[in-house]
Structure 1
Amino acid sequence: MHRRRRTALLLAATLATAAPLLTACSDEAHPGAAAVVGDDRITVSQLENRVTEVRTAQRAAVTDDAQYEQTIAQSGGLTREILNNMVLDRVLHQAAQNAGVTVSRKEVTRTRANLENQPGGVKALEAGWLQQYGIPPQRIDENLRLQLEAQKLAAKLGTDTSGPAFWAALSDASKKLDIDLNPRYGTWDAKKNSRVEAKLPWLRQVTQAGSQETA
């Protein structure tokens, strides 16, 4: 058998064997979960629904087919970005609770009313939140609550949302929540408060072995 063909078969066989093992390990621990944040499960279905919400809002905002395709291309990592934000939202909420910070419905309503009174009104608010933050119209109030939590938490810590003390509080919350992502979406770095791509050493080793054999 030709060396290149043998190497290709080796790599294919390894991928076929290892990928089900990764999926099986995740499914056995957290069936149907994209992430587990403390006692809260973010299901794959919930994640997919959130992606659909954003894509639907983008389609409504961009009626030209060519422009819409360009928008899709520019946000190719949307699923992972949304999962990152869904986890971070829970981390922020936990950090706020740890500090005794709360946000009332009245505060959210007042903040939204102030934004809607800006030039462009509701349409400008919805378009701006979608373009800048990837937040569809039906999620704006939820996002405003989180932003208010972040501002009040930072103020209580005597800093702002870019300060080390603020992010240290989020890191503490991340560690206590013991966040576990489905391997297909990477892992959660509590120090960075961010999702990171999973490292697959078995793939690198096989690829290197194949390169040496065909050299």
Structure 2
Amino acid sequence: MHSRRRRTALLLSAAIVAAGPLLTACGNEAHPGAAAVVDGQRITVSQLENRVKEVRAAQRAAVTDDAQYAQVIAQTGTLTRDTLHGMVLDRVLHRAAEDAGITVTRKEVQDMRAGLEQQAGGGKGLEMTWLQQYGIPPQRLDENLRLQLEAQQLAARLGTDTSQPAFWSALSRTSQELGVDLNPRYGAWDVKKVSRVNAKTPWVREVTSAGTQQTT
């Protein structure tokens, strides 16, 4: 279960860095090949896996020592599921902002990035900070900053901020309208929490990296 602060962090970072057990499910899927469906549009398993690979590749480039890289993997436990959470939440946020008539310009993104780079000691410093703290690889940084600006502007339009119930209620309504549907192997989508939650289906099993299976 995510606290409101954690959900805000997930929103603004698009995903929390994590890595760990893959999930497997027995039985038929409502949307074969889809990790999630949002407004009838699929987020494919392949798209999800590619996004996870981007994070891993950036982490590997930043941490070349094998032992340290192993620690990065060990310290983060649910990359695939949290990445999917972020991908779905990004779509919900973008639609909510779009419905509110909010449009973020390229200049706004560039200005925000310039300010953050100054605080972080340069472009590389900002990229490293976003990778370490939020799991955002360098090639996704501008995309993430655009989403942050959409969130800030949506909250301002609602007369609140991104930590307040009014903001999350708006996302909850949009989430329900979009009919978010997660593949059970990755959990389920809680419309009220605007969050991915663990599935309580007995036929969903976690497969650890060692190849053993545990019933969840």
Q: TM-score, normalised by structure 2?
A: 0.80
Greater RCO (CA < 8 Å, at least 6 residues apart): 2
Q: Count residues in correspondence.
A: 181
Name 1:57's counterpart in structure 2.
58
Name 2:160's counterpart in structure 1.
159
**Residues 119 and 173 of structure 1, relative CA distance in 2, 3 Å threshold:** closer
Name 1:11's counterpart in structure 2.
none
Report the secondary structure of 2:113's partner residue: helix
Structure with higher strand content = 2
Taking only the aligned residue pairs, the percentage that are identical comes to 73
Shift of residue 201, structure 1, vs aligned partner:
4.5
Name 1:20's counterpart in structure 2.
26
Q: Does 1:132 align with 2:133?
A: yes
The one-letter amino acid of 1:62's match is V
Name 2:47's counterpart in structure 1.
46
Q: Kindly report which structure 2 residues correspond to 1:79-94, keeping only aligned pairs within 5 A, or say none.
A: 79-94=80-95
Name 2:147's counterpart in structure 1.
146
Separation (CA, whole Å) in 2 of partners of 1:200 and 1:39: 23
Runs of 4+ in 1 over 3 A off after TM superposition: none
Name 2:76's counterpart in structure 1.
75
Separation (CA, whole Å) in 2 of partners of 1:52 and 1:202: 27
Q: TM-score, normalised by structure 1?
A: 0.80
RMSD: 1.6
Report the secondary structure of 1:191's partner residue: coil
Separation (CA, whole Å) in 1 of partners of 2:52 and 2:32: 20
Report the secondary structure of 1:35's partner residue: strand
Structure with higher helix content = 1
The one-letter amino acid of 2:142's match is D
| Contact in 1 for aligned 2:85/2:195 (Cα 8 Å) | yes
Name 1:98's counterpart in structure 2.
99
**Residues 66 and 156 of structure 1, relative CA distance in 2, 3 Å threshold:** same
Name 1:34's counterpart in structure 2.
35
Q: Does 1:168 align with 2:174?
A: no
Report the secondary structure of 2:119's partner residue: coil
